[in-house]
Amino acid sequence: MKNITLFFLLMLGFSFVSANAQQSDVQIGGSLGQFRQNQGALFDYSDPEAVNIKVAVWGFVKYPGKYIIPSYSSLTDLLSYAGGPSDDSHLDELKLIRTLPDSTQTVLELKYEDILWNEEAKNISKTPEIFAGDILVIPGEPKLYFKDYLSISLSIFSAIVSLAILIINISN
């Protein structure tokens, strides 16, 4: 009886490990509830009638995370799914990181204007297609406004005044 129980426990553990190890960046069909968002920044925009791919969007967008999207989606669609670039983003420095079949990575530098106007302006530069496992990086840095500068200045000023008072009290 112990051998049978041990056998079933081992089979259950093995099936759990093998199921987790076989995750892929491509899936056929989608979930029944379209446009749902799971915990942990996984966004599902899959099409049940098409081949879907998993891509990631990092950086200064409204909703960074991993996305399951139809394979026919464009970069503008992906940016739209992510909520668009934020005010702090540098749109002339977009990067598309692609892992090649030989496990090397290439970085494609893009400009937002080329992506946005490629259809209408028929630019010479071709917007790259999105493949499974691609990572779109939108760089940027937070912008400081007057209230931020005022807060930083008052913090430094109060630290200097506190230090001066401490020195005066110690010297007396």
Residues 144 and 149: their CA atoms lie apart, in Å, by 7
Contact 138, 89 (CB under 8 A): yes
What is the residue-averaged pLDDT of the chain?
Answer: 78
In the structure, what pLDDT confidence band is assigned to residue 124 with cuts at 50, 70 and 90? very low
Cα angle value 141/63/116 (rounded, 5°): 75
Q: What is the DSSP letter of 70?
A: E
Instruction: Assess whether pLDDT exceeds 70 at residue 118.
Output: no
DSSP element (H, E) containing 114: helix 112-121
Which has the closest alpha carbon to 54: 128, 130, 132, 135?
132
* Per-domain boundaries in the chain: 22-141, 143-172
Contact 132, 54 (CB under 8 A): yes
Q: Locate 52 and state its tokens.
A: 């879907």
Quick: pLDDT tens for 47-72: 888 899 999 999 999 999 999 999 99
Quick: pLDDT tens for 70-117: 999 888 889 899 998 888 888 888 899 998 888 888 888 888 776 666
The CATH code belonging to domain 22-141 is: 3.10.560.10
Instruction: Assess whether pLDDT exceeds 50 at residue 20.
Output: no
Pairing outcome for strands 26-28 and 36-38: unpaired
Pairing outcome for strands 36-38 and 105-110: unpaired
Residue 19: the pLDDT is 43
Q: Locate 9 and state its tokens.
A: 């426990």
Residue 112: the pLDDT is 76
More confident residue, 26 or 133: 133
